[in-house]
Amino acid sequence: MANILGIGIATLDIVNHVAAWPAEDEEVRALAQDVRRGGNVTNTLVVLSQLGHRCRWAGTLADDSGSAAIRNDLMQYDIDTAHVQQIPGAHAPTSYIALNVHNGSRTIIHYRDLPEYGLDAFHRIDLQALDWLHAEGRNVVAVAEMLKDARRQYPQLPLSVEIEKPREHIEQLCGLADLLIYSRHYALHQLGAEAPITPEAIANTFLRRQQQRAPQAIHVCSWGEHGAYGLAPDSELFHSPAFTPPKVIDTLGAGDTFNAGLIHARLAGQGLTDSLRSACRLAGDKVGRHGFHGLTTQSLQE
């Protein structure tokens, strides 16, 4: 069991199960609806907690009913929220999601007015007992300072960062982490018109470029139904296929689950090839079920 700190977001996800995404100015009736806690880093922590780790969350909440629901959900998974910054007057970040019942794809509209986690709050966290720190690359300037501070205090503490969306100066986080996890959306955005055709060629070009930027780190990019690619210092490109369940029913948070699987595998001392496989296995189990409940070490079994 490891002590893990996650820095990033928690959201309220309003999930409408639909037969298809409507065209503009059209109406569609949802087949079902559920309201869940979401948010990349808290999704990752909920999975890590079920894999047996002790998890703490550093993030912000408002003082509305949505935030109370988020806190309750995290409590059920034993996530320590003692370092949460509560901001009065704002709203829980809300995501309006259409989940396609035929293929599990998710289309999201975000609403956000809650400020991101601040450096002052981070400085109050005692990092001493930590075995891993994972951050979402969101508020880049503050997260960069948090990573530098953690590195200065505990040079051996593994640091991972998720780079999901293109944001101003986000590249500066690459030199500060040991493990960087990119989305395919980010890879495609970075390569633009230069992008090769196949996922493998794109991942190879993109990850080698990132490796030049940050040679100290392991670089990983997940690629939906194509699995995931990874590059370690002085290595060839590693690939794991996806592990597709009998029916793909919910891909919301597949990447967050993949991140949990990767962190879990690295903490267990696995090499990059095995880590990618085990992260894809866990994410494959996730996309075959709604939400994250029940993702345990059994999901990692061959």
Binding partner of 227, given ligand ADP, ligand FRU, none, CB within 5-8 angstroms per partner class:
ligand ADP
CA 243-247-251 angle, 5° bins: 70
Tokens standing for 146?
Answer: 């948090």
Residues numbered 152 to 191 that lie near ligand ADP (CB under 6 A) are: 183-184
Query: C-beta of 300: minimal distance to ligand ADP in Å?
Result: 13
Residue with tokens 């007992």: 129
Kindly state the DSSP code that residue 22 receives in the 8-state scheme.
Answer: P
How far apart CA 86 and CA 83 sit, in angstroms, is 9
- Tokens 């590693």 correspond to what residue? 238
Look at residues 271, 166, 275 and name the one whose alpha carbon lies nearest to residue 228.
275
Distance of alpha carbon 133 from alpha carbon 56, whole angstroms: 10
Q: Which residue is nearest to ligand FRU (CB)?
A: 38
What is the identity of the amino acid at 23? A
Interaction between residue 70 and ligand ADP (CB under 6 A) = no
Which of 187, 248, 265, 300 is the binder for ligand ADP (CB under 6 A)?
A: 248
Should residue 202 be labelled a site residue for ligand ADP when binding is judged by CB under 6 A?
no
Residue 109: name the closest of 30, 16, 188 by CA: 16
To the nearest whole angstrom, how small is the minimum distance from the Cβ of residue 95 to ligand ADP? 13
Site for ligand FRU in 63-102 (CB under 6 A): 95
Residue 11 binding ligand FRU, by CB under 6 A: yes
Asked if residues 181 and 222 have their Cβ atoms less than 8 Å apart, the reply is yes
Query: Among 98, 170, 187, 287, which residue interacts with ligand ADP (rule: CB under 6 A)?
Result: 287
Please state, in angstroms and rounded to a whole number, the distance separating the CA atoms of residues 85 and 60.
5
Q: How many residues bind ligand FRU (CB under 6 A)?
A: 12
Among 38, 66, 104, 261, binds ligand FRU (CB under 6 A): 38
**Shortest reach from residue 100's CB to ligand ADP, in Å:** 11
Report the C-alpha gap between 47 and 284 in whole angstroms.
13
- Give dist(CA 233, CA 30) in Å, integer: 47
- Site map 227..266 versus ligand FRU, x via CB under 6 A: -------------------------xx-xx----------
Could you give the CA distance from residue 83 to residue 71 in angstroms, rounded to a whole number? 12
The residue range among 8-16, 83-91, 222-230, 293-301 that interacts with ligand ADP, by the rule CB under 6 A, is 222-230
Q: Specify whether the CB–CB gap between 55 and 79 falls below 8 A.
A: yes
Interface with ligand FRU includes 6 (CB under 6 A)? no
Name the residues that contact ligand ADP, by CB under 6 A.
183-184, 222-225, 227-228, 242, 244, 248, 251, 254-255, 258, 280, 283-284, 287
Residue ranges binding ligand FRU (CB under 6 A): 11, 13, 38-40, 43, 95, 108, 252-253, 255-256
